Structure 1
Amino acid sequence: MTDGNGLLSARLLVVAFEGWNDAGEAATGAVRALKELLDVDEIAQVDPEVYFDYQFNRPTISTNEDGRRLIEWPSAIMYGPKTPGAAGVPLAEDAQLRVSGTNAGNIYLLLGTEPSRSWKSFAAEILDAALAADVSAVVFLGAMLADVPHTRPISIFVSSDNPQVRAELQVERSNYEGPVGILSVLAEAAEKVGIPTLSIWASVPHYVHNAPSPKAMLALIDKLEEIIDVVIPRGDLVAEAAEWESGIDALAAEDEEMAAYIAQLEQARDTVDSPEASGEAIAQEFERYLRKRGDGRDGRDGQGGWADGRPGPDAPRAP
């Protein structure tokens, strides 16, 4: 956790986008949870006509509480505290209703859909709004599909391209090279204007990619709370995560192939996490895991993933 003088102890912008960076809706789910718990108002919004292809990101229609039919357009909205700098109420007084801690009044949010076009202009507009709000650091939340078991703790990868942040939090610099999403574009733009950045990514089991993952949302919130020095009520999220895991257990119990595959992932994960694990042991475990696949081959596509499109153990790490 940061101390009161750290880079992440002043005004923070926590960012998540629907789309490529949001497996299991984990990142946007975590920021939406923060939005409900923080006392924030909308302070900036991009013009959707400029950045979105509506045939790709279609608007949606719904009925509001007054019975009116409203169309909601894809966009990106920044929210700021109604009383900037104010400390949150003590947790004991409001355990399920508010984010608390000395830094609670310094949290800004950016929530939206990944734009379809003009990413450089989009990043410049977002950074202008961040600078106008005197944001001192940006925390990006992301989630990716991975070969991980749902029965084990969600893997979290924290990284930063900023040397001060890496030194303060003792985190790594990502060595990923390849295609990126809007988070990486915004991170580079922020660093160029002097705003330090941090990225927190969760690994979501690829075999449940069609459903929201409350367990991954919870893991992101746990790590975010640890880093930005606030206390975030979990509400129903703990129970929802347990139900999510139980539901997948029930599906696996009816599918022998799925159960066997999950058992292989569990064994690989436990080997990596064991205290006696060495680099050689980990490599041997992955080799054995690949040999045990049904066709006797590793089944990969030459790009670090499986031939059926799933990311493999050699797939690049999150940007």
Structure 2
Amino acid sequence: MNSVDGTPEGQDITAEPERFLKEPADGQRVTVMLAAFEGWNDAGEAASDALHYLNKLWDGKKVATVDAEEYYDFQFTRPTVRRTSSGARKVKWPSTRIYKAEVPDSNVDVLLVLGTEPSYRWRAYTTELLVHAEALKVDSVILLGALLADVPHSRPIPVSTTTEDSSLRERLNLEASQYEGPVGIVGVLAEFALLAGLPTVSLWAAVPHYVAQPPSPKAQLAILHRIEDLLQVPLDSLALAEESEAWERGVDELATEDPEIAAYVRQLEEAKDTADLPEASGESIAREFERYLKRRGKERP
């Protein structure tokens, strides 16, 4: 028996939320490029550390590199020297490495771009990355960044999700970035990827500026949660969550030792709580609960 509006009685008419990745045909896989760059775009190294975490979690295999000689000023981005496991001395040069991995229990493949922001020829550099993307059949792009901001360490780390793709904005209810000013390689790659016809979103985590030194596990975890939402795949982040909690306790202890910093943190907390009060809706709670259910389902035998 239909109701007045034509919907069967008892049926939930809530629309399924749109997803970043469109469902491929049966037997097909979808490939997503995720990229992060050390340097100006990477406060607390949160973005690059998040990608390193995924590369280890998913056992990424290196499939390509970008020639460092073409793009880096080694007086600015200096090579480092290390000892190998055998005790030999080895120079490690700045580079950009591309890894590929299959996300377990999904139809998603990922291309992980890990590197240092280049010194020269940014247009040629981004073009070279997109040539690799085309060769490896990338369907969409997620760019990661982190910036210093006036946010408290004791509250959830904000992660903005923006896109210049009008169809994505409409489909996912996103906004375009309102930032104007100097940009890093993340902003340049976002524009080039869009021009290449690749659906592209940018994730930026806000790292508390008074604890800017790496690592920043809480910001890293916030980025991973957003990737989890976009890819619709559960991530094993328990160890990182514990590290994040330990980091927060450590910052709490440091803040209590300095009355001025403690007062400043309280001021940031009050401002954040006031700003978030109107958002005390079920959206964020529902999103976290959905993430919990996915992890629980993955853990069951």
Calculate the TM-score normalised by the size of structure 2. Answer: 0.82
Unaligned runs of 5+ in 2: 1-17, 281-301
Indicate the SS of the match to 1:11. strand
Unaligned runs of 5+ in 1: 89-100, 278-319
CA distance in 2, matches of 1:4, 1:207: 36
Q: Give CA deviations for 1:284-303 in whole Å, capped at 9, x if unaligned.
A: xxxxxxxxxxxxxxxxxxxx
The answer to whether the Cα contact below 8 Å between 1:103 and 1:228 also exists between their aligned partners in 2 is no
CA distance in 2, matches of 1:220, 1:167: 22
Q: Report the equivalent of 1:286.
A: none
CA distance in 1, matches of 2:167, 2:245: 37
Change (3 A) 1:236 1:260: same
Q: Give CA deviations for 1:229-268 in whole Å, capped at 9, x if unaligned.
A: 2111114211110111111110111100000000100010
Change (3 A) 1:51 1:192: same
The answer to whether the Cα contact below 8 Å between 1:156 and 1:219 also exists between their aligned partners in 2 is yes
Return the match for 1:195 from 194, 198, 214: 198
Query: Matched residue pairs, number?
Result: 259
Q: Report the equivalent of 2:165.
A: 162
Equivalences for 1:1-319 in 2 at 5 Å? Answer: 2=19, 5=22, 10-81=30-101, 88=104, 101-104=105-108, 106-275=109-278
The answer to whether the Cα contact below 8 Å between 1:26 and 1:212 also exists between their aligned partners in 2 is yes
Q: Give 1:6 shift.
A: 5.1
Q: Give 1:171 shift.
A: 1.0
Change (3 A) 1:276 1:19: closer
The answer to whether the Cα contact below 8 Å between 2:20 and 2:231 also exists between their aligned partners in 1 is no
Q: Give 1:276 shift.
A: 8.2
The answer to whether the Cα contact below 8 Å between 1:103 and 1:229 also exists between their aligned partners in 2 is no
Calculate the TM-score normalised by the size of structure 1. Answer: 0.78
The answer to whether the Cα contact below 8 Å between 2:20 and 2:230 also exists between their aligned partners in 1 is no
CA distance in 2, matches of 1:189, 1:74: 23
Q: Give CA deviations for 1:68-94 in whole Å, capped at 9, x if unaligned.
A: 22111111111113xxxx661xxxxxx
Q: Give 1:211 shift.
A: 3.0
CA distance in 1, matches of 2:279, 2:88: 61
Q: Give CA deviations for 1:126-184 in whole Å, capped at 9, x if unaligned.
A: 11011100101110011000000000000110001112222232111111111100011
What letter is aligned with 1:102? Answer: S
CA distance in 2, matches of 1:3, 1:259: 40
What letter is aligned with 1:2? Answer: R
Percent pairwise identity: 46
What letter is aligned with 2:53? Answer: A
CA distance in 1, matches of 2:103, 2:56: 17
Q: Give 1:4 shift.
A: 6.4
Q: Report the equivalent of 1:310.
A: none
Q: Give CA deviations for 1:22-65 in whole Å, capped at 9, x if unaligned.
A: 00110001000001011321111111111001111000111122
Q: Give 1:66 shift.
A: 2.4
CA distance in 2, matches of 1:55, 1:69: 20
The answer to whether the Cα contact below 8 Å between 1:215 and 1:244 also exists between their aligned partners in 2 is yes
The answer to whether the Cα contact below 8 Å between 1:46 and 1:77 also exists between their aligned partners in 2 is yes
Indicate the SS of the match to 1:204. strand
What letter is aligned with 2:106? Answer: T
What letter is aligned with 1:76? Answer: T
CA distance in 1, matches of 2:78, 2:279: 51
CA distance in 2, matches of 1:6, 1:236: 31
What letter is aligned with 2:35? Answer: V
The answer to whether the Cα contact below 8 Å between 1:15 and 1:110 also exists between their aligned partners in 2 is yes
